[in-house]
């Protein structure tokens, strides 16, 4: 695919930028929601802190306490249970029930404001009613007692003179206690409503069951319905003061619920005004809103369940149905001073589901992005054509710089523009220049290699011929020794060529390690002192012990090459120095020697392969690979190789960065 086509594809992909804008809107919405959750949690904590003192006074922490269900509308006292359908029946715990097959009562409790409602189911088909004017008679009656924290009580004796309205013996509540005693197939129902004094914290209800045993013999049995006079049942209900304070603290557009520790409802204050939101009639905005609702709202649907032991506060979002509103719900624990859970406060607030998209400016941004994309795509096509022309021109120059025989015709002319393509052009020009130099060298290398091999090969051939014609064994042995010397020279030549091809790969396989370079250099100094004779080897090392992260084997090999090189160019009795000095950003490991200076025009090429300044008349074979090894070792350590002329000396070294 051409560059122009690639940029066309990029231009087409730019049309996905509106999705990036939508993604931004999603992130903005998520940020706003998280901020709203935190603010809602802080508001709930504030409400809990205000309600906590009164809550502790009103609500018991006992798990056996009776819950007074809070109802919104009054119950009609008619002796029937239809108004109680939302409240479940309760019975006394089995431990307090009578033994045998005696009847077990059931009851329902509720409260509205400062009134207590009670529904009793008495499983007795022979209720004894009170007969007016009959002295000393026995009859069924209910003993209802309210208990207060100061151990005082308020007792009600409730009876009936027949099915219908009940009577009560309590002068303090004359005219305030109402109820109906109604017979049913299973026995009878007693429906009561009485004042609930502030501070009443427990209740006991006992049933005096009177039954005829035979003739005029009656039995009277006291049956516990709710607790007993000595062990009343604790009540959980909200005082009028707490109810009024809760209503005043409920924010607009919110629903506040007070729950027991078991999540049973005690009180609900509903000020949720935003139940409906006008639908957006603009198709474009409605479509984007739906997309965001799908992307943003979907993950909130799955809420991890809360374990029973988890009493930490939690806020989460809920999206009921397909409405345009979302609910943020915070559940905050109500605890006693000693940390015991006594209830929960639930605060729910409704807000637009996509608050970020509610602003029309976002849709203006999306429209502007489409217009900008068209402009950008047009500019990209023009830029693609210009860039493609530059690259195609560079390609043609590279191809035309070689003739059909792959010989270099001329050098590339690098671009002057300071961009990536300009850098590529200059790098190609530099590479082609180096390749041309290398190619020129390789063209002469064959003749050099032939020259190097011709002499030892001629020695081998002539020596073998002369050995065949030798008159004596001594002459024949001398000629064979000459042939062996020539063969060894050829062998060294071939070995050096093979090592040159494997040199860089071998270096890259080495591993770095922490080691004491001062100790290693001292050992090398002692080891090479005899090798460089008749020259002298000095050490210029720091007094402290230096530790480096490097390859000791490679550094030792590089030092070997540098000392060998220094020995060959140092006059007899001259001094060779092995040293280590600190530089600004690392260390310089060097070898200095007395001797002739290096020509300035050849310093840069000394570290290239097959470059040697040795005279060609010696017996050793030199392919110029020693300093190449030094350069490769320096580059392996992230440094560089150094060659410089000093006063009367020559220095070669390796820079090792920290």
Measured CA to CA in angstroms, residue 85 lies from 21, 71, 77, 89, 635 at distances of: 53, 12, 14, 9, 89
92 and 204 co-located in one domain: yes
Task: Tell me if 349 is assigned to some domain.
Answer: yes
646 and 527 co-located in one domain: yes
The model's pLDDT over 411-453, given as tens digits with 9 standing for 90+, comes to 677 777 887 888 888 888 878 777 776 676 566 656 656 766 7
What domain range includes position 352? 3-59+239-296+311-358
Total domain count, the chain:
4
All residues at 6 or more sequence positions from 299 whose CB lies less than 8 Å from its CB, including other chains: none
351: its two tokens = 């807000």
What is the SS3 assignment for 82-95?
Answer: HHHCCCCCEECCHH
Query: What CATH number should be reported for the domain holding residue 269?
Result: 3.30.450.20
pLDDT higher than threshold 80 for residue 507: no
Task: Please state the separation of Cα 522 from the chain's center in Å.
Answer: 52
132 and 210 co-located in one domain: yes
Q: What is the residue-wise DSSP string for 30-63?
A: HHHHHHHHHHHHHHHHHHHHHHHHHHHHHS---T
Indicate the pLDDT class of residue 332, thresholds 50, 70 and 90.
very high
116 and 212 co-located in one domain: yes
Euclidean distance between CA atoms 412 and 399, whole angstroms: 10
74 and 220 co-located in one domain: yes
Neighbours of 207 (CB within 10 A): 22
For residue 190, the cross-strand partners are 120, 181
pLDDT higher than threshold 60 for residue 323: no
pLDDT higher than threshold 50 for residue 299: no
28 and 140 co-located in one domain: no
Residue 518 in contact with residue 580, Cβ under 8 Å? Answer: yes
**What pTM value is reported for the model?**
0.45
15 and 79 co-located in one domain: no
115 and 219 co-located in one domain: yes
pLDDT higher than threshold 90 for residue 581: yes
Residue 517 in contact with residue 548, Cβ under 8 Å? Answer: yes
140: its two tokens = 């069924």
Question: In 3D, which of 498, 486, 501 has the Cα closest to residue 453?
Answer: 486
* Percentage of residues in the chain having pLDDT higher than 70: 75
Task: Tell me if 392 is assigned to some domain.
Answer: no
Task: Tell me if 558 is assigned to some domain.
Answer: yes
Helix axes 3-13, 361-400, angle to 10 degrees: 170
Indicate the pLDDT class of residue 317, thresholds 50, 70 and 90.
confident
248 and 341 co-located in one domain: yes
**Which pLDDT does position 363 carry in this prediction?**
61
The model's pLDDT over 448-497, given as tens digits with 9 standing for 90+, comes to 567 667 767 887 888 888 888 888 888 888 888 888 887 887 777 777 66
Task: Tell me if 477 is assigned to some domain.
Answer: yes
């Amino acid at each position: 695919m051409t560059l122009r086509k690639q940029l066309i594809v990029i231009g087409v992909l730019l049309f996905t930028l509106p999705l990036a804008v939508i993604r931004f809107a999603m992130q903005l919405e998520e940020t706003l929601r998280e901020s709203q959750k935190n603010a809602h949690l802080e508001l709930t904590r504030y409400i809990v802190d205000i309600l906590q003192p009164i809550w502790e006074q009103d609500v018991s922490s006992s798990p056996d306490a009776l819950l007074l269900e809070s109802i919104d509308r009054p119950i009609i006292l008619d002796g029937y249970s239809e108004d109680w359908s939302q409240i479940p029946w309760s019975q006394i715990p089995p431990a307090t029930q009578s033994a045998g097959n005696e009847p077990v009562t059931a009851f329902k409790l509720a409260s509205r404001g400062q009134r207590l409602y009670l529904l009793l189911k008495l499983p007795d088909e022979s209720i004894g009613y009170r007969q007016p004017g009959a002295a000393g008679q026995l009859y069924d009656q209910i003993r209802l007692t309210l208990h207060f924290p100061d151990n005082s009580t308020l007792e009600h004796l409730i009876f009936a003179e027949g099915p219908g309205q009940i009577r009560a013996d309590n002068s303090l509540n004359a005219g305030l206690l109402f109820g109906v005693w109604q017979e049913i197939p299973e026995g009878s129902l007693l429906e009561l409503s009485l004042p609930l004094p502030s501070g009443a914290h427990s209740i006991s209800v006992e049933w005096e069951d009177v039954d005829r045993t035979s003739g005029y013999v009656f039995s009277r049995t006291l049956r516990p319905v709710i607790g007993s006079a000595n062990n009343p049942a604790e009540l959980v209900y909200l005082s009028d003061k707490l109810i009024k304070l809760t209503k005043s603290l409920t924010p607009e557009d919110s629903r506040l619920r007070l729950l027991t520790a078991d999540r049973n409802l005690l009180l609900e204050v509903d000020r949720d005004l935003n139940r409906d939101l006008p639908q957006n009639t603009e198709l474009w905005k409605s479509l984007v809103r739906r997309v965001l609702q799908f992307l943003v709202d979907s993950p909130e649907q799955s809420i991890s369940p809360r374990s029973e032991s988890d009493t930490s506060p939690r806020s989460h979002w809920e999206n009921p149905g397909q409405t345009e509103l979302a609910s943020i719900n915070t559940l905050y624990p109500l605890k006693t001073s000693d940390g015991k859970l006594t209830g929960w406060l639930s605060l729910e607030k409704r807000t637009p589901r996509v608050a970020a998209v509610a602003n029309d400016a976002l849709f203006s941004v999306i429209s502007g992005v489409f217009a900008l994309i068209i402009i950008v795509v047009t500019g990209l096509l023009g830029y693609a054509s210009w860039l493609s022309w530059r690259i195609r021109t560079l390609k043609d120059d590279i191809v035309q710089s070689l003739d059909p025989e792959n010989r270099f015709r001329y050098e590339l002319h690098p671009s002057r523009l300071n961009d990536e393509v300009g850098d590529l052009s200059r790098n190609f020009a530099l590479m082609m220049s180096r390749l041309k130099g290398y190619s020129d060298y390789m063209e002469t290398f064959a003749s050099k290699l032939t020259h190097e091999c011709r002499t030892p090969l001629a020695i081998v051939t002539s020596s073998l011929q002369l050995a065949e014609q030798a008159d004596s064994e001594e002459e024949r042995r001398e000629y064979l020794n000459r042939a062996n010397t020539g063969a060894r020279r050829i062998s060294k030549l071939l070995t050096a060529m093979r090592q040159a091809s494997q040199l860089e790969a071998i270096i890259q396989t080495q591993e770095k390690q922490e080691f004491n370079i001062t100790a290693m250099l001292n050992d090398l100094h002692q080891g090479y002192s005899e090798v460089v004779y008749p020259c002298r080897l000095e050490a210029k090392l720091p007094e402290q012990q230096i530790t480096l992260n490097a390859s000791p084997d490679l550094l030792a090999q590089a030092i070997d090459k540098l000392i060998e090189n220094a020995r060959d160019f140092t006059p007899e009795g001259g001094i060779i120095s092995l040293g280590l000095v600190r530089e600004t950003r690392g260390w310089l490991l060097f070898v200095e020697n007395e001797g002739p200076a290096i020509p300035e025009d050849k310093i840069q090429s000394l570290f290239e392969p097959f470059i040697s300044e040795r005279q060609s008349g010696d017996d050793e074979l030199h392919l110029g690979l020693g300093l190449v090894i030094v350069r490769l070792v320096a580059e392996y350590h992230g440094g560089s190789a150094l060659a410089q002329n000093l006063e009367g000396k020559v220095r070669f070294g390796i820079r090792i960065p920290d």
